[in-house]
Amino acid sequence: MASDGEHVDTLIKGARVINGTGAPAVQRDVAVKDGRIVVIGELSGWTAEKVVEAERQVLTPGFIDVHTHDDTHVICSPQMLPKISQGVTTAIVGNCGISASLVTLKGDPPDPINLLGAFDDFQYPTFATYIDAVNQARPAVNVGALIGHTALRNNHMDRLDLGASSEEIDGMRAQLEETLAHGALGLSSGLTYGSAFSAPPEEVMALAEPLANAGALYTTHMRTEFDAILDAMDEAYQVGKHTRVPVVISHLKCAGPSNWGRSTEVLKSLEKVRDGQPVGCDFIRTTGVHRCSI
């Protein structure tokens, strides 16, 4: 697109633009005004308050970090330099069954909830209080929140080494439904940890049933990544089938020397199930290499 004459806030000139659709990179100018892209093209004659010469540089949409534990970090360190310095503009929090929102502690946070901070860091007994804190902090990244299964268990159960009763599941579901109504993206689980390992599949499926009506998803740090990994994957698929929601498997990997070389089996399992069910993974861990799959 050729044009001339307009004045904007920022003009990025000659960048290799990748638009995120899978199309090849193209060399273009990009004009920004009032915080929004107004045109992309060959912008001869345009002027701007700030001009960025971007030849031999790549310009892309902001990256989405789909697996973070930045629940409290986005509030305590809102500048989020480790993210924005790498092009990340959206962080998804509440992964692996643990979330800082919707937590009422009876004492020190249990493992792995303590990954998010100490007792004083959990000041968000409702999803609304967490949203208010994020809005007040105004972090440099967008924030999307999952609600943790283990966090809900902590709220309603005296012992986390047992399965939940029907009454406890009802209490967890009520809290989950409230958060979904206020914009939570879905439910996460961390079934490999002692605080959720005793939860049977039936507990997770019953808790996850409200997700479909909210257009939400289920993401899981599976029950095991060792020898029984395919069984753990099947469990995750069953939750998705039962609740009719997309499933995301967190940090998919084959753990332990006896499972080296089984990545082919694991990936074939994903490919087979994808024919009839939306299933993905947020990153794959192989030999020390992490690859995002968004």
Q: What is the pLDDT of residues 130-184, one digit of tens each?
A: 999 999 999 999 999 999 999 999 999 999 999 999 999 999 999 999 999 999 9
Name the token pair of 181.
């109504």
Residue 124 sits in the same domain as residue 158: yes
**Total domain count, the chain:** 2
Q: Does residue 225 sit in the same domain as residue 278?
A: yes
pLDDT 10s digits, 194-217: 999 999 999 999 999 999 999 999
Pairing, β 36-41 against β 26-33? antiparallel
Closest CA to 99 of 152, 148, 66, 40: 148
> 36 is in which domain, residue-wise?
7-59
In 18-81, the DSSP E strands lie at 26-33, 36-41, 47-53, 58-59, 63-65
CATH number where 54 lies:
2.30.40.10
Cα–Cα distances in Å, from 264 out to 94, 113, 163, 233, 294?
A: 29, 33, 33, 14, 20
Residues 55 and 70 in one domain: no
Query: CATH number of the domain that 102 lies in?
Result: 3.20.20.140
* Residues 244, 223 share a domain: yes
Same domain, 156 and 220: yes
In angstroms, the CA 285 to CA 180 distance is 30
Q: Does any domain span residue 2? A: no
Q: What is the length of the chain?
A: 294
Residues of the chain with pLDDT under 70: 1-4, 283-294
Q: According to the model, what pLDDT value does residue 282 have?
A: 80
Same domain, 155 and 252: yes
> Which of 35, 59, 83 is where one domain is finished?
59
β-strands 142-148, 88-93 pairing: parallel
Q: Is 1 inside any structural domain?
A: no
Comparing CA positions, the residue from 121, 210, 197 lying closest to residue 153 is: 197
Residues 94 and 148 placed together within one structural domain of the fold: yes
